[in-house]
């Protein structure tokens, strides 16, 4: 489950190891990860071969390799995606979906897109080297120097949606997933269903600050997790050895007040929160998840 800090680690690793290399061959082993490319698997491959990687950029959880012809290879890791830089003789991964052979600096390598559940994907963005049109609607993320804090606060405070829904809305703020949303809300003592328009400026600014703290801590840890041989996002490790206060802690005592952390169904997934520190707004029925306990 890569979130923004993991994607940034991938971006930085790709930048270090692939800029200057040329895409020599492309092999699509499963059509689904290239489903968003209107050219189809063969056209996808043809649009990449022979082009040089000039930069690696990111917005939210999307990243792209900017090519010398002005196009871009746009990628998203989805739920379970990995982008691995491997020697060509390394055995294929079980869920290898797309293979890109690279020629040139620093050495010949394979860039492998591995994705078990295939929520992620790759596509060629025509003219997308600076910013792919496909993701122009994605807001900047809070690690972006050009992130507009005041605009974020205004957007939240004019909305009648719940605050967690707003945090997960990529047109409002990008890069925040379910885990970090729960963690930031716990730190800010805000319930997921507090209405944006009923929060004070100060509350929204504080929440934004906590989002940055959570991401910053993860980035500091993730930044040391890959070595020179491969660029790796591991969907298993990383999260759970990180200090989480809310996510996944159902029934365990709140680190602040000791009350048992609760889990409720929310948007087809789970929300974890402290029922004492994060009081629900009036009129919110507390739906239990479908499973017993």
57 carries an active-site annotation: no
CB of 179 to DNA, least distance (A): 6
Report which DSSP code applies to 119.
-
Q: Is 117 an interacting residue with respect to DNA (CB under 7 A)?
A: yes
User: What values do phi and psi take at 104, rounded to 5?
Assistant: 105, -170
Q: Is 103 an interacting residue with respect to DNA (CB under 7 A)?
A: no
CB of 29 to DNA, least distance (A): 12
Contacts to DNA from residues 124-163, by CB under 7 A: 134-135, 137-138, 159-162
Q: Is 270 an interacting residue with respect to DNA (CB under 7 A)?
A: yes
- Contact (Cβ atoms closer than 8 angstroms) between residue 60 and residue 139: yes
Rounded to an integer, what distance in angstroms lies between the CA atom of residue 258 and that of residue 96? 44
Local structure of 122: helix, strand or coil: strand
Of 21, 82, 57, the C-alpha closest to 225 is 82
Looking at the DSSP bridge assignments, the partners of residue 59 are 62
By beta-carbon proximity to DNA, the closer residue of 220 and 267 is: 267
Local structure of 189: helix, strand or coil: coil
Q: Is 274 an interacting residue with respect to DNA (CB under 7 A)?
A: no
CB of 265 to DNA, least distance (A): 8
Of 11, 7, 13, the C-alpha closest to 72 is 11
CB of 159 to DNA, least distance (A): 4
- Contact (Cβ atoms closer than 8 angstroms) between residue 51 and residue 68: yes
By beta-carbon proximity to DNA, the closer residue of 13 and 235 is: 235
Contacts to DNA from residues 10-29, by CB under 7 A: none
In the list 22, 86, 178, 203, the residue contacting DNA (rule: CB under 7 A) is 178
Q: What distance lies between CA 157 and its chain's CA centroid?
A: 25
Radius of gyration (C-alpha) of the chain in whole angstroms: 20
Instruction: Please give the sequence-ordered ranges of beta strands (E in DSSP) within 164-287, or none if there are none.
Output: 262-266, 269-273
Environment class of residue 228 by beta-carbon count within 10 Å: exposed (0-12), middle (13-18) or buried (19+)? exposed
Q: Is 242 an interacting residue with respect to DNA (CB under 7 A)?
A: no
**The one catalytic residue among 52, 57, 59, 61:** 61
Q: Is 1 an interacting residue with respect to DNA (CB under 7 A)?
A: yes
Interface with DNA (CB under 7 A), residue total 41
Q: Is 221 an interacting residue with respect to DNA (CB under 7 A)?
A: no
**The one catalytic residue among 269, 286, 287, 288:** 269
By beta-carbon proximity to DNA, the closer residue of 258 and 292 is: 292
Contacts of 264 (CB under 8 A, 6+ apart): 270, 271, 273, 286, 287, 288, 289
In the list 133, 213, 220, 267, the residue contacting DNA (rule: CB under 7 A) is 267
By CB under 7 A, name the binding residues for DNA. Answer: 1, 3, 32, 60-62, 76, 78-79, 95, 116-119, 134-135, 137-138, 159-162, 165, 168-170, 174, 177-179, 247, 263, 267-270, 289-293
Residues classed as catalytic: 2-3, 61, 269
């Amino acid at each position: 489950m890569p979130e923004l800090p993991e994607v940034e680690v991938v971006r930085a690793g790709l930048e270090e190891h692939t800029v200057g290399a040329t895409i020599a061959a492309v092999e699509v082993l499963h059509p689904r990860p290239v489903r968003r490319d209107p050219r189809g698997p063969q056209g996808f491959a043809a649009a990449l071969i022979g082009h040089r990687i000039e930069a690696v950029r990111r917005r939210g959880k999307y990243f792209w390799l900017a090519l010398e012809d002005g196009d871009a290879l746009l990628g998203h890791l989805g739920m379970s995606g990995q982008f691995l830089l491997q020697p060509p003789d390394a055995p294929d991964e079980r869920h290898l979906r797309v293979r890109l052979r690279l020629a040139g600096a620093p050495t010949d390598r394979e860039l492998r897109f591995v994705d078990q559940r295939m929520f992620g994907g790759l596509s060629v963005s025509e003219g997308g080297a600076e910013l792919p049109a496909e993701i122009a609607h994605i807001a900047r993320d809070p690690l972006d120097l050009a992130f507009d804090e005041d605009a974020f606060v205004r957007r939240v405070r004019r909305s009648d949606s719940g605050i967690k829904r707003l945090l997960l809305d990529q047109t409002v703020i990008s890069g925040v997933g379910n885990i970090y949303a729960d963690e930031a809300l716990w730190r800010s003592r805000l319930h997921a269903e507090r209405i944006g328009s009923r929060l004070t400026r100060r509350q929204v600014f504080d929440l934004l600050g906590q989002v940055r703290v959570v991401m910053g801590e993860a980035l500091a840890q993730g930044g040391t997790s890959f070595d020179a041989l491969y660029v790796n996002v591991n969907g298993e490790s990383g999260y759970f050895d990180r200090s989480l206060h809310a996510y996944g802690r159902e029934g365990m005592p709140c680190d602040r007040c000791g009350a048992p952390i609760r889990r409720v169904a929310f948007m087809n997934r789970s929300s974890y929160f402290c029922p004492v520190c994060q009081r629900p707004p009036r009129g919110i029925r507390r739906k239990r998840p479908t499973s017993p306990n």
